[in-house]
Amino acid sequence: MKAIAGYLRSLFDRKFVFTGLKTALFVGTILFTINHGGALLRGEMDRERWISGLLTYLMPYCVNVHGQYVARRRV
């Protein structure tokens, strides 16, 4: 439980945020284009797709911060 609380705090830790955001922007854009690009171009983005698109950027951020958090805990 302590590790989970530490990870949740690390999501907002300045040491991790910059790299996490860069990764989320790069990977998220690629994934967004693959998963939602056609719907965006056709004007078919509804509320559910926008939420899914947001998660497309959020997930790489969380994964990157998790990797940084685990790496720092091991040192």
Pull the structure tokens for residue 20: 């996490």
Average pLDDT, the chain: 96
Nearest to 27 by CA among 71, 66, 58: 58
Convert the pLDDT of each residue in 30-40 to its tens digit.
999 999 999 99
In the block, tokens 């990157």 appear at: 64
The residue type of 35 is: N
What is the reported pLDDT for 3? 86
Residues in the chain, total: 75
Convert the pLDDT of each residue in 52-75 to its tens digit.
999 999 999 999 999 999 999 998
pTM recorded for the entire structure: 0.90
Please state the domain extents for the chain. 2-74
Half-sphere exposure (Cβ direction) of 50: Cα atoms closer than 13 Å: 5
